Each structure stands twice: as structure tokens, then as C-alpha cells.
């Protein structure tokens, strides 16, 4: 009996069984299945917050210009001088590349599309009965002076 035990100990069988390897792969797959949606959700929220931060900074630049001139501006050069860290766009389309500014009858609309595809808007009416700042978001990403009266506000 001792001889059989010695033979078994001398065989040097090292490594893992197939079942052990399959259990490890299964555990890793479960962890990945939990982690990936969490990561993607956090990434989308971060992209949205970045776009919101950009329109808030552009809005602050517009307020600085308004304080000095008593009117808003669509001139990208004026806004770039106040807030050089942002890129402003003259185009009608809202994109993720730049902040879009529209002024219509002293009503300011600042918009930007996040990398996740959601568009964020800030609208400011400095005077009158409807004076104030309003925030909105949607998936359409269409910007024009007609957006000022859009029902999303």
C-alpha cells in the first residue's frame, strides 16, 4: 500500500483540470457582463456632463458680453476672445465639435450635442415678462432661430 502511495506522489501531475478552468472562465464572464454596462453608462453620463459644461461656459461668456454691450452676440470671434477654451460654430447644425449660439430678438440659445448623441440647450431671455434662463435637451439636434419657440422649453 505504501508503494502505491509513493507511485502516486512521484507522478508529478501539475496543472488544473478542465472543470477548474471552465469555472474560472465562467466567473470572469459574469464579472465582464456586470462591468461592461456599468462602464458604458458611466461613459455616456460623462459625455453628457461635458457637453452641459461647455454650454454653461459659453452661456457665461455670453453673459459677460451682454454685461459689457447690453446685447448678445453670435460673433464667434467675440466669444472666443472671452472663452478661448471653447470652439464656437456659425453653422445651423448643432454638433459635438462646437458650441452653437443663436440670438433672435434678444433671446439667446446656446446648444451643443454630446458625444452620446443627446443635444443640450440653454435659452436666456434677459428682459420682459418671460425673462429668465431655461434648460432643455432632446435627440433632434436641430438648431435655428425657430428653436427659440420650440415646445421643449
pTM metric for this prediction: 0.70
The upper half-sphere exposure of residue 144, i.e. CA atoms within 13 Å in the direction of its Cβ, equals: 3
pLDDT band, residue 153 (cuts 50/70/90): very low
Burial class (CB in 10 A: 0-12, 13-18, 19+), 8: exposed
Where do runs of H (alpha helix) occur along the chain? 2-10, 18-69, 76-82
Write the pLDDT tens digit of every residue in 87-120. Answer: 998 777 777 788 988 888 888 889 999 988 899 9
Amino acid at each position: 500500500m505504501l508503494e502505491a502511495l509513493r507511485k502516486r506522489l512521484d507522478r508529478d501531475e501539475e496543472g488544473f483540470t478542465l472543470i477548474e478552468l471552465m469555472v474560472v472562465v465562467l466567473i470572469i464572464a459574469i464579472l465582464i457582463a456586470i462591468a461592461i454596462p456599468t462602464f458604458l453608462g458611466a461613459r455616456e453620463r460623462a459625455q453628457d456632463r461635458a457637453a452641459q459644461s461647455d454650454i454653461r461656459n459659453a452661456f457665461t461668456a455670453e453673459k459677460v458680453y451682454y454685461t459689457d454691450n447690453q446685447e448678445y452676440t453670435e460673433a464667434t470671434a467675440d466669444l472666443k476672445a472671452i472663452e478661448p477654451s471653447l470652439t464656437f460654430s456659425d453653422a445651423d447644425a448643432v454638433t459635438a465639435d462646437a458650441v452653437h449660439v443663436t440670438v433672435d430678438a434678444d433671446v439667446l440659445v446656446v446648444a451643443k450635442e454630446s458625444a452620446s448623441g443627446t443635444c443640450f440647450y440653454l435659452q436666456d431671455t434677459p428682459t420682459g415678462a418671460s425673462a429668465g434662463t431655461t434648460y432643455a435637451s432632446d435627440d433632434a439636434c436641430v438648431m435655428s432661430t425657430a428653436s427659440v419657440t420650440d415646445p421643449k422649453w
